[in-house]
Amino acid sequence: MMYCSFTDSASFLEKRLGRSPEVFLILRHGLSEWAERLSEIITVDWNEIPGLPALHSIGRGLTFTSGNMKGVEVLCLDGRLHYYEGYSMNEVVSPIHLASALGIKVFIFTCGVGLVSDRGKVGDIMIVRDYINLMGVDPTRGVEARKGQDRFTVVSNAFDRGLSNTAIGLSRELEIPVFEGVYAAVSGPTFETPAEVNCLRIMGADVVGMSLVPETVTAVREGGRVLAICLVANMAGSDFGGDEEVNRTVEGLTYKVFSLLDGIISRIAEGKV
């Protein structure tokens, strides 16, 4: 069995940053500029940090950005490793283990999704209430439990109620179309067929995506509080423009998501969540 230790990685990053981050934020493609709103910014390239897996996606790099907003120390990652890119599940969740080793307890994940149910529409934001894992693999499989840690992870309340309620309330204040729902995770990278979408709908899913669940399971296992913000970018199972269309929709939501993230960090700073 594997044992996930990122002590050396965390020690290196903490020395480079000279600070102790409180919030870890994964910014999906198209949202990375939010990190520029932080003050006292320090950036560290993924490849500089010992113990992290080598990146093998063509033309892609990842950067950690650390900074302060309203007194809250935030660590951002401008993207994620996807299982469909050929990374092992242990590699996919390596940033979460690193953040946990730094002592971070608040995790905010953003992602793009396809709409399955009729509870929302393209261009909305969905706050994840629950998930259905259809990826065919669990990030804790074969990973040895640390001393005092249970072998089995309870995820019946994976998404923090306080953080989720805060995000929903702020979205309404900002007049951002928002709903709360269920995320179905598939391995990808093939998009869903109409029959698969119908199946997901019957199962109770509201949206479908190819990430989020591994990171969430790992963060919960490490004692973290999780908030997941989904950008509804397309109708799942439809004849649409693929990844380019998804990115265009996300671009249209950028300002709204930035305002929402600002508000969430402000609430954390005020001790209201």
Task: Report pLDDT digits (tens) over 212-221.
Answer: 999 999 999 9
Q: What is the mean pLDDT of residues 11-31?
A: 95
Residue type, 94: S
On the question of pLDDT at 148 being above 90, the answer is no
Q: What is the mean pLDDT of residues 80-84?
A: 95
pLDDT grade, residue 102 (50/70/90)? very high
On the question of pLDDT at 40 being above 90, the answer is yes
Q: How far is CA 154 from CA 42, 225, 264, in A?
A: 35, 13, 26
Please give the Cα distance from 64 to 7 (Å, whole number): 17
Token readout for 48 is 């500089």
On the question of pLDDT at 2 being above 60, the answer is no
Token readout for 78 is 């401008």
Q: What is the mean pLDDT of residues 247-261?
A: 85
Q: Where are the domains of the chain?
A: 7-269
Residue 240: per-residue pLDDT: 65
Task: Report pLDDT digits (tens) over 121-135.
Answer: 999 999 999 999 999
Residue 143: per-residue pLDDT: 81
Q: Please, what is the average pLDDT of the chain? A: 93
Residue 58: per-residue pLDDT: 59
91-100, 241-250, 259-268: segment of lowest average pLDDT: 241-250
On the question of pLDDT at 1 being above 50, the answer is no
Task: Report pLDDT digits (tens) over 158-180.
Answer: 999 999 999 999 999 999 999 99
For domain 7-269, the CATH architecture is 3-Layer(aba) Sandwich (3.40)
Residue 125: per-residue pLDDT: 95
Please give the Cα distance from 227 to 64 (Å, whole number): 19
Residue 273: per-residue pLDDT: 87
On the question of pLDDT at 3 being above 70, the answer is no
Residue 30: per-residue pLDDT: 86
The residue count of the chain comes to: 273
C-alpha closest to that of 234 among 224, 247, 225 = 247
What sign results for the dihedral spanned by CA atoms 205, 208, 210, 213? negative
Determine if the pTM surpasses 0.75: yes
Residue 178: per-residue pLDDT: 95
Residue 243: per-residue pLDDT: 66
Q: What is the mean pLDDT of residues 175-199?
A: 96
